[in-house]
Amino acid sequence: MKKNLKKITAVGLTALLGAGLLAGCGGDGKSGGSKDGKVELVMSVWDSDQQPVMEKMAEAYNKEHPDVEVTTQLTTWSEYWTKLEASATGGSAPDIITMNVLHVEEYADAGILMDLTDAEAESDLKIHENFPAPLVDGYTVDGKLYGIPKDFDTNAVFYNKEIFDQAGVAYPQDGWTFEDFRKTCEDLQAAGLPEGVYPTAINRNSGQTTYDATVYANGGYFLSEGNEKSGWGEQATIDGIQPWLDLVLDGLSPTLQQMSDTDPDAMFQGGQLAMYFSGNYMITSYNKTLEGKYGIAKRPTFNGKDTDIINGLAFSVSANTEHPEEAKEFALWLGSEEAQKIQGESGVCISARNDCQQYFVDAHDEVDCQVFLDNVANSELLPHCKVTSELSQVEKKYLEPAWKGETNLADACKNIAKEQDPILEKMNSK
């Protein structure tokens, strides 16, 4: 493993993601041993909602492969990446690592992940035919495959029906624009919402669900093609972010401090938000307190364009597993129709396989989840590169004062670009 991963983690691997994304790892024992003559494989997981279905997938595999015993290790999201680094350094990383797009290049570059290119090519998985291209591209680094797509998420507007009904405001409708969204926020505010209730919440840490898409729709970008230049200082990028910040500055959203004290997801679940931009991965949690009380609408268009952001997890294999052949075989099986059907039918996440995505929609009669599948065709992959964590710290440094109204957004964005460009230059010089 390259020595720079320790430094990368120190500057905050987890900080760049916020509360929206979910995945896992951990444990205190060495994986890859054997028990009763069986090969033991450990699969990491960070989401307690996903652990039961991942255990079900493991059980199905164990039944078909009596010489292998797969178990899961749950580690909370807040500790996941720190523990993964420590276990990889100590030679005890899980055999199967739940990976996300934002970390795959860093961990592949650090030598933690196994190259699965040949294994996939020799299998019948046909990854380029059976999975969305953005997800396959997201886990391909320098032409090599480092993850079998597990699931994906896109975004929509979740709205609280009770708040809308009490305010006498019409529910959001598909085909609306960002201007319509802004007007709906204003109408809700004018109706006199209860104390502590807001029309929406725009969290700086949730670019994936909010301003990332509008930046692309506006012709802006965060990383140039080839990851050679930061696009934060471009006017099109700034103009794609400003309307979201205006919602905060105009009191239509809680302040950054309020959202730091209480996570917006918790605010929505607690009935404090009329609308919230979020991904399909939150439905299981929302149903615990709001089932039957919320609806889902397609996100509003921006600049006349219907753009969204796609993100997804994958099953990666530890480069240091003691059982490389068995681990690779299991990882490939996790991408099979059999495994992805088990996952999809659980209703916890959308399976990445094209022929298994509908299972998630069918599992949720209470809301219309088709919007998340429809988004795929118009989605951009979450921006990422080998130094994503370093870039995110620069963004946080300058964006937070802007979100607090302490500095001008344009100045903040230009400062981000100015500081990110040398980081990208250094990355590309290696």
In angstroms, the Cα distances linking 349 to 124, 361, 362 are 24, 10, 12
Q: From the CB of residue 297, how many other CB atoms can be counted at a distance below 10 Å?
A: 19
Question: Would you state the pLDDT for residue 91?
Answer: 83
**305 and 235 co-located in one domain:** yes
**76 and 128 co-located in one domain:** yes
**390 and 262 co-located in one domain:** yes
Alpha-carbon dihedral sign for residues 227, 16, 146, 322: positive
- Output b/e per residue, 338-370; b: 16+ Cβ within 10 A: ebbbbbbbbbbbbbbbeebbebbbebbebbebe
**193 and 236 co-located in one domain:** yes
**17 and 90 co-located in one domain:** yes
Token pair recorded at residue 19: 């509360």
Section 388-395 average pLDDT: 94
Residues 6 or more apart in contact with residue 20 via CB below 8 angstroms: 206, 208, 209, 265, 278, 279, 281, 282
**401 and 270 co-located in one domain:** yes
- pLDDT tens digits for 7-54? 333 333 333 333 333 333 333 334 445 557 899 999 999 999 899 999
For the chain, the domain total comes to 2
**175 and 198 co-located in one domain:** yes
Q: What is the CATH number for 237? A: 3.40.190.10
**239 and 377 co-located in one domain:** no
- Domain span at residue 201? 156-309+386-429
Alpha-carbon dihedral sign for residues 269, 275, 281, 283: positive
Question: Would you state the pLDDT for residue 244?
Answer: 98
**41 and 107 co-located in one domain:** yes
CA distance 18 to 256: 13
Please tell me which of 203-207, 274-278, 382-386 the model is most confident about, judged by mean pLDDT. 274-278
- pLDDT tens digits for 300-353? 999 999 999 999 999 999 999 999 999 999 999 999 999 999 999 999 999 999
Give the closest residue to 278 by CA, choosing from 257, 296, 260.
Answer: 296
**28 and 112 co-located in one domain:** yes
- pLDDT tens digits for 110-168? 999 999 999 999 999 999 999 999 999 999 999 999 999 999 999 999 999 999 999 99
CA distance 226 to 56: 40
> Please, are residues 134 and 153 in contact by the beta-carbon 8 Å criterion?
no
**195 and 267 co-located in one domain:** yes
CA distance 283 to 182: 24
Q: What is the mean pLDDT of the chain?
A: 91
Does position 85 have pLDDT exceeding 90, yes or no? no
Confidence of residue 6 (pLDDT cuts 50, 70, 90): very low
**214 and 74 co-located in one domain:** no
CA distance 350 to 369: 10
